Amino acid sequence: MYAIANISYDALLIKKPSCIKKREPDAYISIAALICLYHEPINIIRNNIISLLNTDYPKDKVSIYLIVEQDDESTRINAQDLSREFDNVHAIVVPPNGEKDWPDVIKKWNKNAGFDLPFGKGRALLYAYYSDLSDVRDAEAISVFDAEDIVDPSLFKYAIAGLEDGYDIIQGKIKYRNGSKSLLTALEASEPVIWSNLIYPHTSHPDVPFQVLGPAYFFKANLPADIGGWSPFTTSEDVDFGFKAWSLGKKLALLDIYTSELGVESVSSWFKQRRRWARGHQKAMSSEYLSGNTKLMTVKNKLNFWTYSLNSQLMSIISVIGVPAGIYQLLQTITGNAENLGIIMATITIFNLLHWVY
């Protein structure tokens, strides 16, 4: 009931979401599509590339950059092979900290930062953006995707039209395409759809701190330089990126076009993923970018984000744990064996609390 109350509260907020109109752009500007890779099979990457090149957008305006760590040999070889297979695809190999042009990258990003940057998506995106060995910044717009993404053919043109309408970041919706794989993926598949339609749109209101969702977001090429780029020091670089943009008055708009991803297919991977997300959101609560002009505004900003963050985590619990438990309890009630309600509810409650703390 607590989760339902929170979701209902979000759905009924008077803060109107910002959603862009689907239209053809006035100009088809150049787009750099960034894909961070780590231990990815070549068929997954190739499917993504084919998807991005088969959109309703001029192919000569789309450049795809496969960003891979130097020590990830198999994926590096795959990325380099694909860059030879497709004319519009380029491989960016991220060197170890301090090597090659990392000193110049750090200087452009933040003169006070050291060279000991944690490995992760934030670090990879920073290198791809600031390195003179890539021409990402030569594009007029940039988009970010995950390795397994498959995009809708109309995504690019509608996103660019949204940037023309004055928004700074355009975020597409997310769904999972492997929901029929197992019971876990079937339960998990409802999570991004509920989040994208019921909760996340309200964060596009100017008063509410927003995050980007990781994949399928677009912005003008100068935005990372304006806001300070991605943070390599968090497990949720997408949250940090959104906070920075919001704190500087940048505007987010939601695009009602879905990009499909693959949900995790094992319970252990599900726990690891949710643990990483929860830690990132918990760390974000202390972000300097949530600070307002007064203590009251700071509290308001943190409460706004906390509400959406909590619902984000609850989606996982409701789908994967709550639905089976609810069905079981319904059957118990129908058959007249509902005396175990207290034990079941206590188990669910303890699980929720332990998951959040963990």
What is the structure's pLDDT at 1? 45
Report the range of poorest mean pLDDT among 89-93, 102-106, 107-111: 107-111
What is the arithmetic mean of pLDDT over 226-241? 90
Q: Is 165 exposed, middle or buried (0-12, 13-18, 19+ CB in 10 A)?
A: middle
What is the structure's pLDDT at 151? 98
CB 31 within 8 A of CB 139: yes
Rounded distance between C-alpha atoms, residue 61 and residue 139, angstroms: 9
What is the structure's pLDDT at 356? 45
- Cα radius of gyration rounded to whole Å, the chain: 21
Element (H, E) at 79: helix 73-85
Residue 56 has pLDDT above 90, yes or no: yes
Report the range of poorest mean pLDDT among 155-164, 201-210, 331-340: 331-340
The yes or no reply on domain 15-271 and CATH 3.10.129.10 is: no
What is the structure's pLDDT at 8? 46
CB 18 within 8 A of CB 254: yes
Residue type, 293: N
Residue 11 has pLDDT above 50, yes or no: no
Chain-centroid distance of CA 311 in Å reads 16
Q: What is the pLDDT of residues 156-200, one digit of tens each?
A: 999 999 999 999 999 999 999 988 888 778 877 877 877 777 778
User: What mean pLDDT, rounded, does the chain reach?
Assistant: 84
What is the arithmetic mean of pLDDT over 281-295? 78
Q: What is the pLDDT of residues 131-167, one digit of tens each?
A: 998 999 999 999 999 999 999 999 999 999 999 999 9
Highest average pLDDT, of 74-78, 119-123, 130-134, 211-215, comes from 74-78
Q: Residue for token digits 């395409």?
A: 177
CB 33 within 8 A of CB 64: yes
